[in-house]
Structure 1
Amino acid sequence: MRLADYLDFVCDPGRDDVEGWLYPTDAYLMGVINDLQTGHGFRGDIVEIGAYKGKSAILLGFFPAAGESLTVCDIFDSGAMVSDGNAQENAAFYPGLHQADFEKNYLRFHDRLPRVHVGPSEELGKVVAAGSCRLVHIDGGHTYEVARADMETARRALGSGGVVVVDDWSSAHIPGVAMALWEQYLSGELTPLAFTKGKFYATWDPAGLTAGEVADAVADRAGIEVRSVVRLGRYVAASVTMTLGDWQRYNAGLRAVYSKLYAADGGASAPQMVGF
Structure 2
Amino acid sequence: MRLADYLSVVGDPGRDDVEGWLYPTDAHLMSVINDLQIGRGFRGDILEIGAYKGKSAILLGFFPKSGESLTVCDIFDSEALVSDGNARENATFYPGLHQADFEKNYLRFHDRLPRVHVGSSEELREVVAARSCRFVHIDGGHTYEVARADMETARRVLGPAGVVVVDDWSSAHIPGVAMALWEQYLSGALTPLAFTKGKFYATWDPAGLTAEDVSDAVAASAGIEARTAVRLGRYAAASVTMTFGDWQRYNAGLRAVYSKLYADGGASAPQIVGF
Q: Report the TM-score range of the alignment, normalised by the length of the smaller protein.
A: over 0.9
Equivalent AA in structure 1 for residue 99 of structure 2:
Q
CA distance in 2, matches of 1:248, 1:51: 28
Corresponding residue of 2:9: 9
- Structure 1 position 64 matched with structure 2 position 64: yes
CA displacement at 1:51 relative to structure 2: 0.2
- SS in structure 2 opposite 1:72? strand
Q: Which amino acid aligns with 1:230?
A: V
* SS of corresponding position for 1:185: helix
TM-score by length of 2: 0.96
Q: 1:266 to 1:11 in 2, by over 3 A?
A: closer
Aligned ranges 1:153-232 → 2 under 5 Å: 153-232=153-232
The separation in 1 between residues aligned to 2:98 and 2:149, in whole angstroms, is: 23
Counterpart of 2:106 in structure 1 is 106
Task: For 2:110 and 2:263, locate their aligned partners in 1 and report how far apart those are by CA, in whole Å.
Answer: 35
SS at match of 1:231: strand
Determine the C-alpha separation between the residues in 1 that align with 2:59 and 2:265.
32
User: Where do 4+ consecutive residues of structure 1 move more than 3 Å?
Assistant: none
Alpha-carbon RMSD: 1.5
1:228: how far off? 2.5
1:236 is matched with 236
Q: What is the distance in 1 between the residues matched to 2:200 and 2:77?
A: 28
Distance (whole Å) between structure 2 residues aligned to residue 121 and residue 90 of structure 1: 14
> For residues 199 and 170 of structure 2, what CA distance do their matches in structure 1 show?
8
Asked if the contact 2:12–2:253 (Cα under 8 Å) also holds between the matched residues in 1, the reply is: yes
Q: Quick one: distance in 2 between partners of 1:157 and 1:266?
A: 42
Distance 2:190 2:227 in 1: 23
In structure 2, the partner of 1:261 is 261
Deviations 1:137-192 (A, max 9, x none): 00001000110111011111100110000000000110000000000001100000
Other-structure match for 1:37: 37
Alpha-carbon separation, structure 2, partners of 1:79 and 1:4:
37
Unaligned runs of 5+ in 1: 268-272
Partner of 2:228: helix, strand, or coil? strand
**Structure 1's 123 and 247: CA in aligned 2 closer, same or farther, altered over 3 A?**
same
Q: Secondary structure at the match of 2:227?
A: strand
| In the alignment, structure 1 residue 144 sits paired with structure 2 residue 172 | no
Query: Residue type matched to 2:218 in 1?
Result: V
Kept after mapping to 1: 8 A contact 2:50/2:141? yes
Aligned residues: 270
Write the distance in 2 (CA, Å) between the matches of 1:69 and 1:127.
13
Task: Using the TM superposition, give the Cα deviation of residue 261 of structure 1 relative to its aligned residue in structure 2, in angstroms.
Answer: 1.3
Aligned equivalents of 1:79, 1:122: Cα separation in 2: 15
> Which TM-score applies when normalising by structure 1?
0.96
Distance (whole Å) between structure 2 residues aligned to residue 149 and residue 229 of structure 1: 29
Q: What do residues 74-105 of structure 1 show as CA deviations (whole Å, max 9, x unaligned)?
A: 01110111110100000000011000000000
